[in-house]
Amino acid sequence: MTSLETFLAAKGIYFLTFLLLFLGLYGMITCGNYMKKLICMNIMQVAVIFIFLCLAQKDGGTIPVLFSNLRNAEDYINPLPHALMLTAIVVSMGTTGVGLALLTRIKEKYGSIEEDEIIERENK
């Protein structure tokens, strides 16, 4: 393997997850539709979950369930980031739920979820 390939094999996944993170942020800034902003917010949250899961991985580790023939810590991957991300997924679901509930209210009151039209109606 060339040095670039080893580098990509070890660190490439971080570039991909950060790409996903900034894609989400970019979408939140540029989209004019609140629904699209909410979707981009979700993409961003998923990216951070991926970053945590990448931290848990290592070569030669298996799932963190006790096998009788594997007794050493280095044979298992770190389960803690997975446990943390389980909480983060629940939180992100809660945030999305509140966001969607607010969006239905906005649609009811303003008749639109486009940012320009809402601002226009707010100032009226």
Binding residues for another protein (CB under 8 A): 21, 25, 28, 34, 37-38, 41, 44-45, 48, 51-52, 55, 81, 84, 87-88, 91, 94-95, 98-99, 102-103, 105-106, 109-110, 118, 122
Q: For the CB of residue 99, give the shortest distance to another protein in the complex, in Å.
A: 5
Other CB atoms within a 10 A radius of the CB of residue 40 amount to 19
Q: Which residue has the tokens 């030669």?
A: 60
Which residues have CB under 8 Å from 85's CB, separation 6+?
Answer: 49, 52, 53
For another protein, give the closer residue by CB, 23 or 118: 118
Say how far apart CA 111 and CA 105 lie, in whole Å: 9
Backbone dihedral angles phi then psi of residue 62, each to the nearest 5 degrees: -115, 180
Residue type, 59: D
We find the least distance from the C-beta atom of residue 106 to another protein, in angstroms, to be 5
**Nearest-approach distance from CB 76 to another protein, in angstroms:** 15
Minimum CB distance to another protein smaller for 13 or for 88: 88
